[in-house]
Amino acid sequence: MSFAERMLHIDRRLIFLLIGVCTLLPLLYPVGLAIKVSPEVHGVYDYIEALPEGSIFLLSMDYDPASKPELYPQAVALLRHAFRKNLRVIGMTLWLPGTGLAEQVMTKVAGEMGKVSGKDYVFLGWSPGSGSLIINMGQDLYKAFPTDYYSQPTRELAVLKGIQTLRDVNYVVSLAAGTSGIETWYLYGKDKYKFELGGGCTGVIAPGLYPLLRSGQINGLIGGMRGAAEYEVLIGQKERAVAGMDAQSATHFAIILLVILCNVFYLLIRTSPKQGEAR
């Protein structure tokens, strides 16, 4: 076997080790390179920044623990921004496994910012149905959620005063990890009930949402951990997402190096004179 062939058949555990080291070292010894903010993320930030105090902001945390590293920092940054602007925040999720995480992020950030459940924000929790749930909320919010997550009757909550349906919500942001996310909110929600819609999503589904961004169906898109880092820069509170960007840089360059090496070895094999028949 030639050197190039041996290199292409290298034990994959060495590659795993390389990725592990490229991820761990920047986490232990961060550099802190500058992060440029994209227009997509600005779209969401500028809209929230322009909302008057007391506006209704609905954050739908449509993800499960698998997507926590990408979407949890987005949720934290958005909630901090919304609470700083004194918006009335409604939290919920379309994904059953994400209910605990959604509750944790709301109570954590609300506690930090001195906000009170029922008065400044409400956590509605999860309800089955995705599309039918959104339609139900669009028809009558109190029929969809007669009680909040803590069994308080929603009609009696001060934070929901004056809201009857989704038409009364000023801005909805869906943080999505897959199906039952941004497209669902548009299809069964914004199409009929005409609220403004923004999105946050994992890196895997982000490219697929650009048609909606370009057509104005969503007014902004926060893509992956990079998007979360950009939002943290905008609100001036750099945390986990920004801290992860150095490791992101290192791993991306590791992958680029691996791809280049793979192609160099492949080219060497293709252009070398043919080997003898017997080994």
Site for other proteins in 218-277 (CB under 8 A): 223-226, 240, 243-256, 258-259, 261-263, 266
Amino acid at the residue 190: K
Q: Does 3 bind other proteins (CB under 8 A)?
A: no
Q: Does 89 bind other proteins (CB under 8 A)?
A: no
Select the residue interacting with other proteins from 29, 161, 214, 236 (CB under 8 A). Answer: 214
Tell me how far, at minimum, the Cβ of 119 lies from other proteins, in Å. Answer: 16
CA–CA separation, 269 vs 53, rounded Å? 65
3-class SS at 52? coil
Can you say whether the dihedral through the CA atoms of 75, 77, 78, 79 is positive or negative? Answer: positive
Q: Does 211 bind other proteins (CB under 8 A)?
A: yes
Q: Which residues pair with 126 in a beta bridge?
A: 93
Amino acid at the residue 150: Y
Tell me how far, at minimum, the Cβ of 266 lies from other proteins, in Å. Answer: 5
Select the residue interacting with other proteins from 216, 236, 273, 276 (CB under 8 A). Answer: 216
Beta carbon nearer to other proteins, 34 or 278: 34
CA–CA separation, 132 vs 51, rounded Å? 28
* Count of residues of this chain found to bind other proteins when the rule CB under 8 A is applied: 97
The residue range among 41-49, 54-62, 81-89, 122-130 that interacts with other proteins, by the rule CB under 8 A, is 122-130
Tell me how far, at minimum, the Cβ of 270 lies from other proteins, in Å. Answer: 9
CA–CA separation, 263 vs 208, rounded Å? 28
The residue range among 25-33, 45-53, 54-62, 82-90 that interacts with other proteins, by the rule CB under 8 A, is 25-33
CA–CA separation, 1 vs 10, rounded Å? 12
Tell me how far, at minimum, the Cβ of 24 lies from other proteins, in Å. Answer: 6
Q: Does 1 bind other proteins (CB under 8 A)?
A: no
Tell me how far, at minimum, the Cβ of 170 lies from other proteins, in Å. Answer: 21
CA–CA separation, 38 vs 56, rounded Å? 25
Which is nearest to 231 in space by CA: 172, 171, 183, 175? 175
Q: Does 132 bind other proteins (CB under 8 A)?
A: yes
Tell me how far, at minimum, the Cβ of 221 lies from other proteins, in Å. Answer: 10
Strands (E), the chain: 56-62, 88-93, 121-126, 171-176, 196-201, 221-223
The residue range among 18-26, 43-51, 52-60, 154-162 that interacts with other proteins, by the rule CB under 8 A, is 18-26
Pick out residues in 45-64 that bind other proteins (CB under 8 A).
64
Q: Are 20 and 245 in contact (CB under 8 A)?
A: no
Please give the order of strands across the beta sheet that includes 196-201.
121-126, 88-93, 56-62, 171-176, 196-201, 221-223
Pick out residues in 134-193 that bind other proteins (CB under 8 A).
135-136, 139-140, 143-144, 146-147, 149-151, 183, 186-188, 191-192
Beta carbon nearer to other proteins, 54 or 203: 203
